[in-house]
Amino acid sequence: MKLLGLLCILLACTGAGLYASARLKRETRAAELLMALTEDCAACIRCQNTELRELLGQLAVHPNYSRFGFLKAVSEGLSPSTPPQEVWQKAVRSDPAVPAQAREILCSLGNVLGTTDTQGQLAALELHRIQLRAAAGESRERYTVQGKLYRSLGLLGGAAAVVLLL
């Protein structure tokens, strides 16, 4: 019975380390997807000259971006009485799928989308894509270093707890 309890402690600590590492990996993947989102937005604006509500509606149902609830919230929340920037910022800030380092970048993007001409929007998307690329790179580095650290600490912490309890 004691051995089973010790095994549970070891597995719980290891699981906590793996969970923390997986959280970093999800943040990295989300930043990379947001970078791809800006590329797809630019392509739709450049080729189809899509209106903002229609563009966000298309992206909200796209399989790669369906995890981001802010797209659907903005496309549904746009109204003549409310400025699109307010709807965009509120939706981005309340979306848990958006990593913290990308939140401010996306909020500033919302100030430009749908408010300028096509060339202005494309230039803004390019600028924000570069910023998201840098954020994704930082997130990737953090995952590489800290992810391994979390996994190791979880396993070693669990092993230390088991040794102490023996």
With a CB cutoff of 8 Å and minimum separation 6, the contacts of 131 are 105
For residue 141, how many other CB atoms are within 10 A of its CB? Answer: 11
Length of the chain in terms of residues written? 166
Report percent pLDDT > 70 for the chain.
100
Q: Where are the alpha helices (DSSP H) in 49-99?
A: 52-61, 69-77, 84-94
Residue 15, pLDDT score: 93
Per-residue pLDDT at 23? 92
pLDDT at residue 1, rounded to an integer: 82
pLDDT at 51 over 80: no
Residue 13 contacts by C-beta under 8 Å, 6 or more apart in sequence?
A: 154, 155, 157, 158, 161
pLDDT at site 18: 93
Provide the token pair at 64. 């790669």
Indicate if the pLDDT at residue 78 is higher than 80: no
Q: At 111, which amino acid appears?
A: N
Eight-state DSSP code of residue 88: H
Q: What is the DSSP letter of 62?
A: S
